[in-house]
Amino acid sequence: MSEADTTATENPDSNLIEGEAVRELAEIPAVEVISRAAVMLMSSAAEKLGLGEADPSTSPHLDLDEARRVITALAGLVTASVEYLGPHAGPIRDGLQSLQRAFREASAHPDAPGSGPGEKYTGPVY
């Protein structure tokens, strides 16, 4: 018996749950899917910048290389989808800029304006 067969036998509803999740996702408006993705990327970047700690520089999660990647992905998503975000666009852009500034502050050797994470998509953030 394969692992998949064992899982299906142990939880016969597992396929039903997965099928329901796919149907539910299809019913969610695109703007909500994009917004949820943006919030997830923002949360990840904030953690990787150590912003969940009183002193970010001592955070065990501080990882500027990872933060750069996530912020750049967020900037690409926001830039590509801004026309669809409607009233969500402003707060998401503000969050992105805050993360870009936090990255600059956390860097021992900050990037030149326009070279920071995601700035090729958003323009320079000071």
| CB burial readout 45-59, b (16+ within 10 A) else e | bbbbbbbeeeebeeb
Encode pLDDT of 72-126 as tens digits. Answer: 999 999 999 999 999 999 999 999 999 999 999 999 999 999 999 999 999 999 8
Residues 6+ apart with CB under 8 A from 37: 77
Residue whose tokens read 């402003």: 90
Q: Other CB atoms closer than 10 Å to residue 122's CB: what's the count?
A: 21
Give the pLDDT confidence score for residue 15 in this predicted structure.
Answer: 58
Residue ranges per structural domain of the chain: 29-120
Residues 6+ apart with CB under 8 A from 119: 75, 100, 111, 113, 125
Q: Where residue 32 falls among pLDDT bands split at 50, 70, 90?
A: very high
**pTM tops 0.95:** no
